[in-house]
Structure 1
Amino acid sequence: MQPQESGVRYSRWDNSNRDEVSMTAMSSTEEPSCYRRLSQKLCSGKLGIAMKVLGGVALFWIIFILGYVTGYYVHKCK
């Protein structure tokens, strides 16, 4: 047996108006990649919510500091 591929395949037929979309599931013997496991752990559940909140707060402070520094140099008295 050949291992199943995971993903979605889309093929358009040349002489017809129908489109074909086929989805294949990952076989039970395959393990998800390291990146997929890490992203599932960090982006879902309570840990995922905490990571999104911390990311939003960090992004806020980065934009705030950049705006403050930019405003300082733009409005600096000579």
Structure 2
Amino acid sequence: MESDGAGSVQYDRWNEDNINMNVEPSQSAVRRIYNRVCVGSTGVVLKSGAAIAALVSVYIIGYVTGYYVHRC
């Protein structure tokens, strides 16, 4: 009954247990940079450095502002 012609398709070779439909979507460049920089120990170091830089900049701005305010 089955023909071995060019138009026939053999579906009995499919093993449905081995088909993986959980394919991760491709990530954007911004998301890859975020995952590389902001997650894990690198993220902790980067966030700590940013916090220290922010505190130092606020200190310098306050120092310069106080100098010019109390100059006279």
Please indicate, yes or no, whether the TM-score normalized by the shorter chain is above 0.5. Answer: yes
Of structures 1 and 2, the one with the larger relative CO (CA 8 A, separation 6+) is 1
**Larger Rg over CA atoms:** 2
Residue type of the alignment partner of 2:60: I
How high is the sequence identity, in percent, across the aligned residues? 37
Matching residue within 51, 54, 57 for 2:52: 57
Equivalence for 2:37? 42
Residue type of the alignment partner of 1:71: G
1:73 and 2:71 are equivalent in the alignment: no
- Calculate the TM-score normalised by the size of structure 1: 0.60
Q: Distance in 2 between matches of 1:70 and 1:36?
A: 39
- Calculate the TM-score normalised by the size of structure 2: 0.65
The superposition leaves residues 33-68 of structure 1 with CA deviations (integer Å, 9 ceiling, x where unpaired) of 000010111111000000000000100111000000
More strand by share: 1
Equivalence for 1:22? none
Number of equivalent positions: 51
Q: Distance in 2 between matches of 1:47 and 1:34?
A: 18
Unaligned ranges ≥5, structure 1: 1-26
Tell me, what secondary structure is at the counterpart of 1:42? helix
Query: What's the Cα RMSD here?
Result: 1.3
